[in-house]
Structure 1
Amino acid sequence: MTKRLISALCLSAAAMWLAPTQAAAGQKVHCTVILDAESGKALHREGTCDKGFAPQSTFKLPLAVMGYDAGILKDATTPRWEYKTEWKRPKREQETTDPTTWEKDSIVWYSQEITRRLGKEKFADYARRFEYGNADVRGVKGQTDGLTEAWLMSSLKISGDGQADFMRRFVNRKLPVSNEAFARTEAIIPQFSAADGWQVHGKTGSGRMRTKAGKFDGDSWLGWFVGWAQKDGRKVVFARLNIQDWKSEEPISFFTRDSLIADLPKLVK
């Protein structure tokens, strides 16, 4: 294989991850994928589930696994970190936060404190070993810092298929971390009740899309809901993604979450 061909293949692979988030600005994208957690069989799959997009706050789930495995996070209420005014976060984030409220209220600065404590090398190593999406936590030069923003409309990308695959490895404890890291992460992920006795555990994520020039595209928003659900010993993993124009005060991720919770019992029969 010539050097030119190798280079072309590398560029093509990079484009697969970098282009979707930019090209999708202003366009409508939907994905729903549900897998049987044990067998991996696809119970439902529709839409654009093979293209990578920013994980946004769904990354708080793998980040919790990293934090517990590294000993930065201790249990459901430890550590409790005080908010600092220099972080200039929205009013809803200006509170003392522990691991449970971090996941429930989706507190960005708490995520950033975890990655700062991990450091660049360890953070990147976890992303690679988790095989999480494209595992690129370098950030975008001149736009976003890799250590504290890689997952926020930046370099890190994951598809709906990738989200479901990661969740399956998480619930089956197939990641290279301690058993305590799995159990403690499971304990802090928000839980919801669905029809027919299903219990749904998952994390939302939302953010404004970027144009090809890297600028925020005003009305085009991304919304994720990713997690697992169980009933009578049966377990499934899922990912739902919506990208569309969004002008409601309610985050698009809440719409995505609520629609998945409503749909899931019908989709897995």
Structure 2
Amino acid sequence: MQPFSILLPSLLMVLISCSPPSEKYIYRDFGKYYDLFEVEGTFVLYDLKKETFIVHNAEYAGKPFTPASTFKIVNSLIGLETGVIFDASFIIAWDSVVRDLPIWNQDHTLSSAFKYSAVWYYQEMARRIGEDRLKSWLEKLEYGNGNISSGVDRFWLSGSLQVTPLQQIDFLTRLYANKLPVHDRSSEIVKDIMVEKDTLGYVLRAKTGWGNQDGKEVGWYVGYFETGDNVYFFANCVSTEDKDNRTFLTARKEIVNLIMEELELL
């Protein structure tokens, strides 16, 4: 099987060119689900067993967006590899700043900070890692554009770091296959904290994100489903100019669920 890093440039060429689509790339219109939540967006799914991509809104699949809290996957790996944090139970003490979400206003472990998306925990982690090491690790991991110029504790939220839905899939496939330049222990810890659902039929590892870019609200849901004999990697990115439209937060996950049901993959 070809590594995804080799397949990705080919996919980009197909998406950009006007040549007939390859059998590896299936283009589907799931616009009805985005219309349901009054958002724009793109969906990319990679079927590991069939080595096939399913793409909705190909134009946006290669467009860069702020990763927002989906960067917590990467940040966790870097924190573990640099020794800034030791394991999933590593505690960073609450800084006593009261924030809008009550669950954030307490000490957190890596595991709980990931689960509840506690931004302050990851901002403190990033400050402890430092700009030089962060920049170096983003280059090693080949994540997004690698640009951290907008601030050591802000670059992934609404600043300089941007990543495409296709790059999100690329990163996740390498994480799953232990093909990232990190220790297996770090990968396994991150995979464990990513578990969102573990059923008899499948295991879901995933992360949401919510940021702002160019006057738009940007929402993410990225991850992968492990079934008995296959793995499906997905990236859903939604956006809206209507700041009062909070349905886009629901849209991040619900659109993925609706598409997976339609495709009868789970």
Counterpart contact for 1:150–1:156, Cα < 8 Å:
yes
- Supply the distance in 2 between the matched residues of 1:246 and 1:100 (Cα, whole angstroms): 30
- Supply the distance in 2 between the matched residues of 1:181 and 1:268 (Cα, whole angstroms): 33
Counterpart contact for 1:225–1:256, Cα < 8 Å:
yes
- Supply the distance in 2 between the matched residues of 1:33 and 1:249 (Cα, whole angstroms): 23
Mark the CA change 1:81 to 1:231 in structure 2 (over 3 Å): closer, same or farther. same
Q: Paired residue for 1:149, among 147, 154, 160?
A: 154
Partner of 2:253: 257
Counterpart contact for 1:198–1:265, Cα < 8 Å:
no
Counterpart contact for 2:66–2:212, Cα < 8 Å:
no
Question: What do you get for the CA RMSD once the two structures are aligned?
Answer: 2.3
- Supply the distance in 2 between the matched residues of 1:199 and 1:134 (Cα, whole angstroms): 30
Counterpart contact for 2:195–2:203, Cα < 8 Å:
no
Mark the CA change 1:268 to 1:126 in structure 2 (over 3 Å): closer, same or farther. farther
- Deviation of 1:233 after TM superposition, in Å, equals 2.7
Q: Paired residue for 2:141, among 130, 133, 136?
A: 130
- Deviation of 1:132 after TM superposition, in Å, equals 0.5
Indicate whether 1:239 and 2:250 are aligned. no
- Supply the distance in 2 between the matched residues of 1:98 and 1:152 (Cα, whole angstroms): 21
AA partner of residue 35 (structure 1): Y
User: Which deviates more, 180-189 or 239-248?
Assistant: 239-248
Partner of 1:142: none
CA displacement 1:210-252 (0-9 Å, x = unmatched): 3xxxxxx3xx3111001111111311211000001352556x3
Q: Where in structure 2 are there 5+ consecutive unaligned residues?
A: 1-37
Q: Paired residue for 1:67, among 76, 79, 92?
A: 79
Q: Paired residue for 1:197, among 178, 194, 201?
A: 201
AA partner of residue 207 (structure 2): K
- Supply the distance in 1 between the matched residues of 2:250 and 2:73 (Cα, whole angstroms): 17
- Deviation of 1:76 after TM superposition, in Å, equals 2.1
- Supply the distance in 1 between the matched residues of 2:233 and 2:166 (Cα, whole angstroms): 11
Counterpart contact for 1:207–1:221, Cα < 8 Å:
yes
Mark the CA change 1:179 to 1:268 in structure 2 (over 3 Å): closer, same or farther. farther
Counterpart contact for 2:67–2:209, Cα < 8 Å:
yes
Counterpart contact for 1:37–1:172, Cα < 8 Å:
no
Residues 52-201 of structure 1: matches in 2 within 5 Å? 52-77=64-89, 79-85=90-96, 87=97, 89-92=99-102, 93-139=104-150, 145=151, 147-192=152-197, 197-201=201-205
Aligned length: 224
In structure 2, the residue corresponding to 1:64 is in which secondary structure?
A: helix
- Supply the distance in 1 between the matched residues of 2:180 and 2:50 (Cα, whole angstroms): 17
In structure 1, the residue corresponding to 2:92 is in which secondary structure?
A: coil
Counterpart contact for 1:50–1:159, Cα < 8 Å:
yes
In structure 1, the residue corresponding to 2:91 is in which secondary structure?
A: coil
Mark the CA change 1:38 to 1:61 in structure 2 (over 3 Å): closer, same or farther. farther
- Deviation of 1:119 after TM superposition, in Å, equals 1.0
Counterpart contact for 1:204–1:254, Cα < 8 Å:
no
> TM-score of the superposition, structure 2-length normalised?
0.77
The sequence identity of aligned pairs, in percent, is 24
Indicate whether 1:46 and 2:46 are aligned. no
AA partner of residue 204 (structure 1): T
- Supply the distance in 1 between the matched residues of 2:201 and 2:243 (Cα, whole angstroms): 32
